[in-house]
Amino acid sequence: MNDPLILIAGAGGFIGGHLVADLRGRGFTNIRAVDIKPFDEWHQLFDGVENLSADLKDRDECRLACRDVSEVYNLAADMGGMGFIENNKALCMLSVLINTNLLIEAQAAGVNRFFYASSACVYNADKQRDANVVPLKEEDAYPAMPEDGYGWEKLFSERMCRHFREDFGLSTRLARFHNVYGPHGTWQGGREKAPAAVCRKVIHALESGRHQIEIWGDGNQTRSFMYIDDCIQGIDRIMHSNILEPLNLGSSELVTINQLVDIAEDIAGVALERSYKLDAPKGVNGRNSDNSLIQQHLGWEPSIRLRDGMAKTFAWIQEQYLAGRVVPIAVGASPSTNGHGHRTPRFPR
């Protein structure tokens, strides 16, 4: 098939929206984009795509979503930054229903390939206690001691993909994303991640004239951050490779959160007075991606410099901020609405 039907689950989200954009840009016209959110809350919504609002925790909706599909990209999950996942463990774990039902229905529909978006949160917490990290290798997920809630769900879903492949022959591919950032993502409201939160805080300080910033933790925790373009390229490479085991998909450019703030300040041309909220959720002390395996298998790894990606992200968030698209901060979500309010058109039955 030259233009197979491709399902993007979670297409209203940050990475899903960019994936739809990329596929369209590369000439694919047969795309089904599904998300639980009403269309006006999707980060990106495109013409010429079969856009559908549906709850993929529901098996019937998964059956309809997978009908006639050749490739599934499962990017749907109830998730957010540390503030969200530390306070909403049950909600995060309920995403297991999405992956379970999608796998069952993808298998039944005879889907050719199934991509699952896993996370660096699957890694054993004992390997991430020190800010001076040894980068995480894929084997470091076991013995299992992942991030509570969200990480357990991701690790379990990885195993499900593996066993659907081994037992039923469904061709699954898995990537463990390490902190993805970029334009058209969540930058406020409680689900945003560190790069977007830092950009927003610096922009707010700049625009309000109050040259202060609050940092979660002591700022010495270390992370790597992958720009969205690298993520999208990596998804395509992994999806169409013969690599069956989960692969790290992340940048290996390690920074402290203080250094991330330095970068945002430098882009903005300000220096802010810093305060540290030591009791805020901050996750593990240190985490970086060991990219030996992806290099070995694909001869490629994410390479966009943090400074370059942050400049683009900052510019986009500043545009949103100046356009007045600011909502009150509210961490958490109601289980009954998934935090997204009403749903609009469902699948035609």
Out of 20, 55, 216, 267, which residue is the one contacting ligand NAD (CB under 6 A)? 55
Out of 77, 161, 202, 239, which residue is the one contacting ligand NAD (CB under 6 A)? 77
Least CB distance to ligand NAD at residue 342 (A): 13
Out of 5, 7, 8, 13, which residue is the one contacting ligand NAD (CB under 6 A)? 13
Applying CB under 6 A, the site for ligand NAD has a residue count of: 27
Q: How far apart are CA 102 and CA 56, in angstroms?
A: 7
Q: How far apart are CA 4 and CA 15, in angstroms?
A: 21
Q: How far apart are CA 142 and CA 154, in angstroms?
A: 13
Tell me the one-letter amino acid at 193. Answer: K
Q: Which is nearer to ligand NAD, 120 or 206 (CB)?
A: 120
Catalytic residue among 73, 116, 123, 150: 150
For ligand NAD, which stretch binds (CB under 6 A), given 21-29, 77-85, 209-217, 326-334? Answer: 77-85
- Is residue 321 annotated as a catalytic residue, yes or no? no
- Among candidates 279, 220, 312, which has minimal Cα distance to 82? 279
Handedness of CA 231, 233, 234, 239 (dihedral sign): positive
Owner of token pair 């689950």? 9
Does position 119 bind ligand NAD by CB under 6 A?
A: yes
Structure-token pair, residue 303: 């390479």
Q: How far apart are CA 196 and CA 82, in angstroms?
A: 13
Out of 36, 52, 194, 261, which residue is the one contacting ligand NAD (CB under 6 A)? 36
Out of 7, 14, 93, 149, which residue is the one contacting ligand NAD (CB under 6 A)? 14
DSSP 122-156: GS-GGGGSSSSPPPBPGGGG-S---STTHHHHHHH
For ligand NAD, which stretch binds (CB under 6 A), given 52-60, 103-111, 139-147, 341-349? Answer: 52-60
Least CB distance to ligand NAD at residue 248 (A): 11
Catalytic residues: 150
